């Protein structure tokens, strides 16, 4: 996410030590670590929820396609039956001539 190298971390540590002071630095570091952990967990949770919703949407689309294919298959079978019936009728008419 952030492109922070070792030298940047050392610089942040030194500035923090000067600004905050050595007495309060461990407490501040724990608080920052706690909130970073919370934010990472929250981000991971949001990512998993988004993945779940995307998966559900894909399943809905597949189900929709399956229903459409079933309807198409039914229509195709009806058309085939109708054509067979017409073919029989034509044969029957041809036999009577």
* Alpha carbon distance, N-terminus to C-terminus of the chain: 84
Residue 27 lies in a domain: yes
The first and second tokens of residue 58, run together, are 């894909």
Residue 1 lies in a domain: no
Residue 31 lies in a domain: yes
> What confidence tier does 77 reach under pLDDT thresholds 50, 70, 90?
very high
Distance of CA 63 to the CA centre of its chain: 16
Instruction: Tabulate helix, strand, coil % of the chain (nearest 5).
Output: 90, 0, 10
Q: What is the mean pLDDT of residues 57-77?
A: 94
Give the model confidence (pLDDT) of 8-50 as tens digits: 888 988 888 888 888 888 898 899 899 999 999 999 999 999 9
Domain that holds residue 18: 6-96
Give DSSP secondary structure letters for 33-72: HHHHHHHHHHHHHHHHHHHHHHHHHHHHHHHHHHHHHHHH
- For residue 1, pLDDT beyond 60: no
- For residue 97, pLDDT beyond 70: no
Residue 38 lies in a domain: yes
| Strands, E assignment, 21-97 | none
> What confidence tier does 2 reach under pLDDT thresholds 50, 70, 90?
low
Q: Among 33, 31, 44, 34, which residue's Cα sits nearest to residue 1?
A: 44
Q: Is the pTM of this model over 0.85?
A: no
Specify the number of domains making up the chain. Answer: 1
């Amino acid at each position: 996410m952030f492109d922070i190298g070792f030298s940047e971390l050392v610089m942040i540590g030194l500035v923090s030590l000067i600004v905050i002071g050595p007495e309060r630095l461990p407490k501040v570091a724990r608080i920052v670590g706690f909130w970073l952990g919370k934010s990472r967990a929250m981000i991971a949770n949001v990512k998993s929820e988004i993945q779940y919703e995307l998966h559900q949407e894909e399943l809905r689309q597949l189900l929709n396609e399956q229903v459409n294919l079933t309807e198409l298959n039914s229509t195709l079978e009806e058309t085939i039956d109708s054509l067979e019936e017409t073919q029989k009728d034509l044969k029957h008419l041809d036999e009577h001539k």
